[in-house]
């Protein structure tokens, strides 16, 4: 029997304390009969006591829409709670489905005037450029008796990072709140339900506060301190609603006190130093302590908008036990967690008072030592001094995180007892949506490594790496990784939040910083192609993967300003041929100390990106019904494409930079003019890859495109050779070297086990893992045909000796999956199409795709001709000779 399930609003995982006044609802339908579709839906809404609308209403709508549909006529008011249930009618049935489970939605503080509290600070003006300690703020207040309380909420944010405690218990489970946004423009607040934690009568509220991103050191080249201000302060509003519906803001501003936290020093890069002898006891003993009065800083001093979160918070996601523990000759303990993570250690031990353990972290070992050189200016050392409790002490750092697989603890008290040290994985708590596997374990391991690099680099915003003195929102990295990110996790909320910061930090002339939030640390401020283009590419990707036009509508101005900016740089010629560029960053041919020195002309890259961004912008204008803009940007795109052809392409189809990256850009961004040019360029691309011996010769720009480029000219088997190569440089080389995440450089670790001498060498960058998007779409064959997967395209390209491959995705409409197996000369495919969706299945030798309606389907077709693509030149079988049939498998 069909059911309505999975209710969500906007892109929230849990719609609590949201900032949207008119949140749109989405649901999925499960257990429907094959081929059934929704013809109507009904919503039943109960509005809270603060509502301007009738407390209860229901609407029935004749529509097949189940995504992002409007719910309310009158928008939510601040704090308002509503519950929504949905049911629907399928086909012509008179009987609706049962009502879904109710979804509760609660608004945060939607108007600036809702904030009655001010910031309070233990450290209002500290200009030192050094690592500082943390503070505890506390306030004691009386609450009305609990039987009168309907609900209690804390709305909080900070200049710094904070944790809240109430009456001895932790409030919420978020880490490093409020996260990192462009604090000068947008400061996120969090909403907490503290109803159950309030005590009758006396209550003690504490806030731990440390520098974090706001005042701590950020950035490379020595980094910068006090990036957003010299104060450290918290803004906290406690509201109690009694059963009669009256909301009272508890007046706390003048009663905040503070004391130094037992954290003597802490920084995101530096690590944390905690002395448990200084732990602050809970009330009533805490009254005896020396508390100083906190300084009140009026909200009006800080112009940043207070905004509700768009995505999930950062949390401790899981704990890993070490796969090995070793006593080092020095006496210290070495742990290998078997996985490179972003996070921290947690331990339990009995130690004498005053005894200090030192925790050091590294991604890899070199010469059998923790390799700390790649961390550069991020020492990543934690220290804990025992209070001496005979029953033992448990600790994990509160306000820092590290990128590591290995850790050493010096001075461990006594013998090591199994289970006493764990690694805590910390990142944005997004829901996993996409999975992929094949018959090739090395390829699957690579995919798993990409998933880990995504996890480790989505710590509140999309970053380049989690370990060294960067951890910055590099725009180019997420520009190329966006499609993969959208498949693997429900990351839209996290990414739209960050896109708002991109828009906020865009210069008056439309320039986009190369990383966002921007930190002034000596890096060129001019936007690089492929990096600044995130302003257009990422909103477009998110629209394609979610079907949410509002993302385009919100970002349209930012997208437009970027394309206008570049058009102005080209002085209307369309040729971007001047100024700063990063080019095909990290081309393996570039010397370690000159990562931008690629073989591909940097202005070829720039002009190609300009043309593509203008095309995508014109498409976005089309989606939004902005016809004049569409025509305008089509013209700009045409001009850029003409300039590209004039400057970089011979009439016959050869490119000025005779490189894989140049040709891939021309093919995938559809910049060539004629079929003949495509044929010549494609053949040349195949030649280049063959001549290289199927190793990688592309950097950040070419790598995400080359497999698609090869597939587009019928050379999928060449793409497989490249993809399955294990020699350096290749995607799988790192896997053969024991990698558990994707590396920044193809050879971050050299074949002899030494670390690349370049000073920029991370073992956890997702960019080069962007190719998994190709694997999902082309190897398994699960692709979207219409935005939001309303229609899916199934077009697997078996090859590379794989005997099976599968992908599944929780699309907005429910789970879709494709899995195929070679069975003799046939390909056996199982397909699951969600309700409300149709699938176009490309069957070899057939002119039109076969259309499948929702449900499960088993299909068989001849494998030998699994593609109608022309045969590429025969290639040598360089890999996996033992696995399945030797390549080439597709044709010929």
Indicate which residue of 273, 470, 505, 660 is catalytic: 470
* Nearest C-alpha neighbor of 715 from the set 696, 694, 732: 694
Q: Which is nearer to ligand BGC, 498 or 648 (CB)?
A: 498
Q: Which is nearer to ligand BGC, 582 or 735 (CB)?
A: 582
Whether 744 is catalytic is: yes
User: In the range 228-257, which residues lie near ligand BGC by CB under 6 A?
Assistant: none
User: In the range 468-507, which residues lie near ligand BGC by CB under 6 A?
Assistant: 470, 474, 476-477
Binding mask 342-361 for ligand BGC (x = CB under 6 A): --------------------
Angle (nearest 5°) at CA 733 between 728 and 736: 135
Should residue 585 be labelled a site residue for ligand BGC when binding is judged by CB under 6 A? Answer: yes
Cα atoms in the Cβ-side hemisphere of radius 13 Å centred on 76: 31
Angle (nearest 5°) at CA 782 between 776 and 783: 95
Which of 143, 238, 582, 718 binds ligand BGC (CB under 6 A)? It is: 582
Q: Which is nearer to ligand BGC, 51 or 491 (CB)?
A: 491
What are the helix (H) ranges across 307-357?
none
Least distance in angstroms from the C-beta of 464 to ligand BGC: 4
Least distance in angstroms from the C-beta of 74 to ligand BGC: 45
Least distance in angstroms from the C-beta of 536 to ligand BGC: 17
User: In the range 414-473, which residues lie near ligand BGC by CB under 6 A?
Assistant: 464-465, 470
Q: Which is nearer to ligand BGC, 406 or 515 (CB)?
A: 515
Should residue 690 be labelled a site residue for ligand BGC when binding is judged by CB under 6 A? Answer: no
**Helix 549-569 × helix 492-505 angle, to 10°:** 40
Q: Which is nearer to ligand BGC, 174 or 767 (CB)?
A: 767
The residue whose two tokens read 């609706």 is 96
Least distance in angstroms from the C-beta of 505 to ligand BGC: 16
Least distance in angstroms from the C-beta of 837 to ligand BGC: 36
Least distance in angstroms from the C-beta of 594 to ligand BGC: 12
Least distance in angstroms from the C-beta of 596 to ligand BGC: 7
Which of 521, 636, 760, 889 binds ligand BGC (CB under 6 A)? It is: 760
Which of 599, 765, 778, 808 binds ligand BGC (CB under 6 A)? It is: 765
- The CA–CA distances, whole Å, from 186 to 76, 304, 306, 334, 480 equal 21, 5, 6, 42, 25
Least distance in angstroms from the C-beta of 248 to ligand BGC: 49
Whether the Cβ atoms of residue 68 and residue 97 lie closer than 8 Å to each other: no
* Nearest C-alpha neighbor of 826 from the set 849, 851, 856, 798: 798
Least distance in angstroms from the C-beta of 553 to ligand BGC: 28
Q: Does residue 88 sit in helix, strand or coil? A: strand
Distance between CA atoms of residues 837 and 782, nearest Å? 13
Indicate which residue of 106, 270, 505, 744 is catalytic: 744
Distance between CA atoms of residues 175 and 156, nearest Å? 13
The residue whose two tokens read 């949140």 is 23
Q: Take residue 880 and report the two structure tokens written for it.
A: 């996996």
Q: Which is nearer to ligand BGC, 697 or 765 (CB)?
A: 765
Least distance in angstroms from the C-beta of 450 to ligand BGC: 15
Whether the Cβ atoms of residue 208 and residue 163 lie closer than 8 Å to each other: yes
Q: Which is nearer to ligand BGC, 275 or 477 (CB)?
A: 477
Q: Take residue 617 and report the two structure tokens written for it.
A: 């912008």
Q: Which is nearer to ligand BGC, 427 or 630 (CB)?
A: 427
Least distance in angstroms from the C-beta of 378 to ligand BGC: 13
Distance between CA atoms of residues 857 and 840, nearest Å? 13
Residues binding ligand BGC: what is the number (CB under 6 A)? Answer: 10
Q: Which is nearer to ligand BGC, 23 or 466 (CB)?
A: 466
- Residue 43 is classified by DSSP as E
- The CA–CA distances, whole Å, from 846 to 789, 859, 867, 879 equal 23, 14, 10, 31
Q: Which is nearer to ligand BGC, 133 or 769 (CB)?
A: 769
**Residues whose CB falls within 8 Å of the CB of residue 370, separated by 6 or more in sequence, listed in order:** 334, 360, 361, 362, 406, 407, 408
Burial track 863-884 (b if 16+ CB lie within 10 A, e otherwise): beebbebeebeebebbbbeebb
Instruction: For the beta carbon of residue 728, count every other beta carbon within 10 angstroms.
Output: 18
DSSP string, 497-558: HHHHHHHHH--TT----SBSS---SS---SPPTTTTTHHHHHHHHHHHHH--HHHHHHHHHH
Whether the Cβ atoms of residue 565 and residue 509 lie closer than 8 Å to each other: yes
Q: Which is nearer to ligand BGC, 335 or 474 (CB)?
A: 474
Binding mask 858-887 for ligand BGC (x = CB under 6 A): ------------------------------
Q: Does residue 561 sit in helix, strand or coil? A: helix
Whether 270 is catalytic is: no
Q: Take residue 757 and report the two structure tokens written for it.
A: 């001498």
Binding mask 709-748 for ligand BGC (x = CB under 6 A): ----------------------------------------
Whether the Cβ atoms of residue 161 and residue 177 lie closer than 8 Å to each other: yes
Should residue 270 be labelled a site residue for ligand BGC when binding is judged by CB under 6 A? Answer: no
Distance between CA atoms of residues 510 and 516, nearest Å? 14
Least distance in angstroms from the C-beta of 465 to ligand BGC: 6
Exposure of 280 by Cβ count < 10 A (0-12 exposed, 13-18 middle, 19+ buried)? middle
Instruction: List the catalytic residues.
Output: 470, 744
State the residues that interact with ligand BGC by CB under 6 A: 464-465, 470, 474, 476-477, 582, 585, 760, 765
């Amino acid at each position: 029997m069909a059911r309505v399930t999975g209710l969500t609003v906007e892109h929230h995982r849990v719609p609590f304390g949201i900032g949207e006044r008119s949140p749109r609802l989405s649901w999925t339908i499960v257990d429907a009969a094959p081929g059934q579709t929704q013809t109507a839906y009904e919503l039943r809404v109960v509005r809270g006591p603060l509502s301007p609308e009738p407390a209860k209403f229901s609407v029935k709508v004749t529509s097949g829409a189940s995504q992002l549909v409007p719910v309310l006529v009158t928008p939510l008011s601040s704090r308002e709670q509503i519950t929504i249930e949905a049911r629907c009618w399928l086909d012509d049935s008179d009987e609706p489905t049962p009502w879904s489970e109710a979804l509760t939605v609660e608004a945060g503080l939607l108007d600036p005037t809702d904030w009655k509290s001010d910031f309070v600070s233990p450290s209002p003006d500290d200009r030192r450029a050094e690592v500082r300690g943390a503070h505890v703020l506390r306030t004691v207040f009386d609450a009305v008796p609990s039987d009168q309380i309907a609900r209690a909420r804390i709305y909080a944010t900070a200049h710094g990072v904070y944790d809240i405690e109430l009456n001895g218990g932790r409030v919420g489970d978020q880490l490093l709140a409020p996260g990192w946004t462009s604090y000068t423009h947008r400061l996120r607040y969090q909403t907490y339900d503290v109803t159950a934690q309030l005590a009758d009568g006396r209550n003690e509220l504490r806030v731990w506060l440390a520098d974090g991103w706001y005042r701590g050191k950020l950035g490379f080249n020595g980094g910068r301190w006090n990036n957003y201000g010299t104060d450290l302060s918290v803004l906290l509003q406690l509201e109690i609603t009694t059963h009669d519906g009256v909301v009272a803001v508890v007046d706390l501003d003048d009663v905040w006190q503070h004391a130094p936290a037992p954290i003597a020093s802490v920084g995101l890069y530096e690590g944390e130093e905690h002395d448990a002898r200084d732990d602050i006891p809970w009330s009533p003993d805490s009254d005896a302590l020396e508390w100083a009065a906190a300084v009140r800083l009026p909200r009006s001093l800080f112009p940043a908008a207070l905004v509700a979160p768009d995505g999930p918070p950062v949390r401790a996601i899981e704990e890993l036990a070490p796969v090995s523990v070793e006593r080092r000759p020095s006496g210290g303990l070495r742990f290998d967690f078997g996985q490179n993570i972003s996070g921290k250690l947690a331990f339990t031990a009995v130690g004498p008072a005053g005894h200090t353990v030192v925790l050091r972290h590294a991604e890899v070992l070199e010469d059998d030592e923790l390799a700390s050189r790649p961390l550069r200016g991020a020492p990543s050392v934690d220290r804990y001094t025992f209070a001496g409790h005979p029953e033992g002490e448990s600790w994990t750092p509160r306000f820092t995180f590290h990128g590591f697989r290995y850790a050493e603890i010096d001075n461990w008290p006594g013998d090591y007892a199994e289970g006493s040290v764990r690694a805590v994985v910390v990142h944005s708590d997004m829901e996993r949506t996409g999975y992929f596997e094949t018959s090739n374990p090395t390829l699957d391991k690579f995919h798993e490594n990409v998933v880990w690099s995504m996890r480790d680099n989505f710590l509140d915003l999309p970053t380049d790496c989690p370990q060294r003195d960067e951890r910055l929102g590099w725009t180019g990295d997420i520009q190329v990784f966006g499609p993969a990110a959208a498949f693997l996790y429900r990351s839209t909320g996290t990414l739209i939040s960050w896109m708002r910061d991109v828009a906020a930090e865009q210069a008056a002339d439309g320039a986009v910083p190369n990383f966002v939030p921007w930190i002034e640390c000596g890096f060129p401020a001019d936007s690089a192609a492929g990096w600044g283009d995130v302003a257009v590419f990422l909103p477009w990707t998110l629209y394609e993967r979610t079907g949410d036009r509002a993302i385009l509508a919100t970002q349209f101005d930012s997208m437009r300003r970027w394309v206008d900016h570049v058009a102005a740089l080209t002085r209307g010629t369309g040729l971007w041929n001047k100024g700063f560029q990063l080019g095909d960053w990290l081309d393996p041919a570039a010397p370690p100390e000159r990562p931008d020195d690629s073989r591909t002309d940097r202005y070829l890259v720039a002009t190609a990106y300009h043309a593509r961004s203008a095309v995508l912008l014109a498409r976005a204008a089309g989606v939004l019904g902005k016809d004049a803009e569409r025509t305008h940007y089509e013209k700009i795109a045409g001009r850029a494409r003409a300039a590209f052809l004039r400057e970089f392409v011979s009439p016959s189809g050869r490119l000025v930079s005779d490189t894989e990256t140049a040709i891939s850009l021309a093919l995938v961004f559809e910049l060539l003019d004629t079929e003949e040019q495509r044929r010549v360029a494609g053949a040349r691309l195949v030649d280049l890859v063959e001549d290289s011996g199927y190793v990688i010769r592309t950097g950040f720009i070419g790598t995400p495109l080359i497999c698609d480029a090869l597939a587009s000219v019928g050379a999928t088997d060449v793409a497989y050779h490249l993809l399955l190569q294990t020699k350096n440089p290749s995607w799988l080389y790192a896997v053969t070297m024991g990698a558990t995440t994707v590396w920044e450089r193809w050879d971050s670790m050299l074949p002899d086990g030494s670390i690349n001498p370049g000073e920029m060498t991370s073992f956890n960058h997702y960019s080069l893992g962007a190719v998994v998007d190709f694997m999902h779409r082309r190897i398994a064959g699960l692709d979207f045909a219409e935005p939001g997967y309303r229609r899916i395209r199934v077009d697997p390209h078996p090859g590379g000796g794989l005997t099976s491959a599968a992908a599944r995705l929780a699309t907005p409409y429910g789970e879709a999956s494709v899995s195929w197996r070679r069975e003799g000369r046939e390909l056996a495919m199982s397909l699951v199409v969600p309700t409300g969706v149709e699938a176009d299945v490309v069957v070899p030798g057939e002119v039109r795709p076969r259309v499948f309606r929702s449900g499960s389907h088993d299909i068989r077709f001849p494998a030998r001709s699994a593609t109608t693509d022309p045969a590429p030149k025969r290639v040598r079988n360089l890999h996996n000779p033992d696995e399945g049939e030797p390549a080439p498998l597709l044709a010929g």
